[in-house]
Amino acid sequence: MADLYDVDALKADLPNAKELAQFVYDKTGLALDLIGKPKEEQYLAAKNALEGKKVPQDFITDDNPYVDKKDLIPVDEKSHSLFQGALIFLLKLQKSIILGLLICLTHLIHSLIVNVRLCSVNTTTE
């Protein structure tokens, strides 16, 4: 099978890692992590990806090459887990409050039934 892409042509058309990664992503849907890797290896990995050949795992990423990492808002795992903990606590508290209200309501109904029986007993004995 003949090579479909020429490394020198890729270097001429796509002079930096970001543009190269975006081009590969557009053509293949594969996101490559090229930044910081040796130039020659970047272009070989991109060429392999474009030709459907095996790409080394350390070049593959889930990050979209069009999204600038500087624009992302970092997620603090501690605050995220604190939020989840607070939410779980509130849900448990809500269950406890509902259960407490049901118990109070049950006692109230029981008291009303007892009082109605007492009233009916008092009216029948008079």
**63 within a domain of the structure (yes/no):** yes
- Give the CA radius of gyration of the chain: 34
56 plus 98 within the same structural domain:
no
Specify the pTM. Answer: 0.56
Q: Is 122 helix (H, G, I), strand (E, B) or coil?
A: helix
88 plus 118 within the same structural domain:
yes
12 plus 63 within the same structural domain:
yes
Report the pLDDT value the prediction gives residue 88, as an integer from 0 to 100: 82
Length of the chain (residues) = 126
pLDDT tens column, 84-103: 777 788 788 888 888 888 88
φ, ψ for residue 2 (rounded to 5)? -75, 150
Distance CA 5, CA 30 (A): 16
20 plus 62 within the same structural domain:
yes
38 plus 83 within the same structural domain:
no
94 plus 110 within the same structural domain:
yes
62 plus 92 within the same structural domain:
no
59 plus 94 within the same structural domain:
no
Structural domains of the chain, count: 2
The alpha carbon dihedral of 13, 15, 21, 22 has a sign of negative
Contacts of residue 116, Cβ cutoff 8 Å, sequence gap at least 6 = none
Domain of residue 96: give its range.
76-126
pLDDT tens column, 15-28: 999 999 999 999 99
